[in-house]
Amino acid sequence: MDQHPIPRQITTFEFKLIGFLTIKQFIYLVVFIGFGLLVYTITPIPILNYLLAFLVSMVGVAFAFVPINDRPMENWVRNLIKRLTSPTQYIFKKENKPIAALLNSSYSSNAQQIATYIDSQKKLNSYLSTKNPKIEVGSSKRQSINSLLMSSFSFLTNKKPINPPSQPQPSANIRKTTVERQPFITGTIKNFKQTPLAGILIYVKKSKESPPIRIFKTNLHGIFLSYKSFPSDEYIFEIKDPKQIYFFDTMKIKVENNNKPIEVTSRELI
């Protein structure tokens, strides 16, 4: 039984065009033997010139005929130089800057319509919360259920259902309570091109030196709103852009029940 042939490198196969030498082997021999002759003629010392010329010529022979692990010596020398010159530690550094056209863009929509819808929803919720409570009429419901049951079984007894006498229901004394409504705050932040800005921070303070009592952040539509009511008073509004692209003036606004949505526009950069 014939043995299976040993697999060999076929991708790096080269034809022997010059006798038993390939073109690459022939070039190595010619170049390094030429360098050996040059070293022999340059070196003035008689014994040293033979030794140096022989060493230089043998380097060419090694490159041409001495493979290591089925790889020519030139591959090992090339990989050694590449590893010695390449860095041993890699650090990620983001160099590509974001596209300028995308920095100032934001999703635009009808912000006034959204603010009106939010305001009407708040008014509806406040109206429902102040509506009079319902009167419990448990006794009347119980009487209606009893009469319904009696009427459903009347065909078995052929008797008219006897309805119990209706009891007078006590009139519930309902007191009208007035709930003090406290105002909410809502508004929009835009740039000088009237484009809504997202991610803008709004600091609400009692005074410039005092710490903020509320901090808002605009959504994708540039709208901010308070989910909790504010006591009627004057407040300082400081608006800041975390990216420091847009700048706004500090405002002093009096918050009341009939406040309209606040519209803030950034200062135009010169």
Q: Is residue 226, in this structure, part of any structural domain at all?
A: yes
In this structure, are residues 266 and 248 in contact, taking their beta carbons and an 8 Å threshold?
yes
Cα separation, 205 vs 237, in Å, equals: 7
Nearest in space to 246 (alpha carbons), one of 225, 233, 228, 265: 265
Q: Is residue 233, in this structure, part of any structural domain at all?
A: yes
In this structure, are residues 225 and 261 in contact, taking their beta carbons and an 8 Å threshold?
no
- What's 240's domain CATH number? 2.60.40.1120
Q: Is residue 15, in this structure, part of any structural domain at all?
A: no
Q: Is residue 37, in this structure, part of any structural domain at all?
A: yes
Report pTM: 0.35
Cα separation, 73 vs 146, in Å, equals: 107
| Mean per-residue pLDDT, 96-113 | 67
| Mean per-residue pLDDT, 117-125 | 84
pLDDT winner (highest mean) among 108-122, 154-168, 192-206: 192-206
| Mean per-residue pLDDT, 36-47 | 86
Mean pLDDT is lowest, of 107-116, 139-148, 230-239, 247-256, for: 139-148
Q: Number of structural domains, the chain?
A: 2
- Residue range(s) defining the domain that contains residue 215: 181-265
Tens of pLDDT, residues 70-104: 778 888 888 889 888 888 888 888 777 777 776 66
**pLDDT exceeds cutoff 50 at 132:** yes
207 token code pair:
């005074």
Distances (CA, A) of 192 to 19, 183, 186, 187: 81, 28, 20, 16
Q: Is residue 153, in this structure, part of any structural domain at all?
A: no
pLDDT confidence bin for 137, thresholds 50/70/90 = very low
Per-residue pLDDT, 153: 47
Distances (CA, A) of 241 to 13, 198, 200, 246: 65, 9, 5, 6
Phi, psi of 181 (to 5 degrees): -90, 130
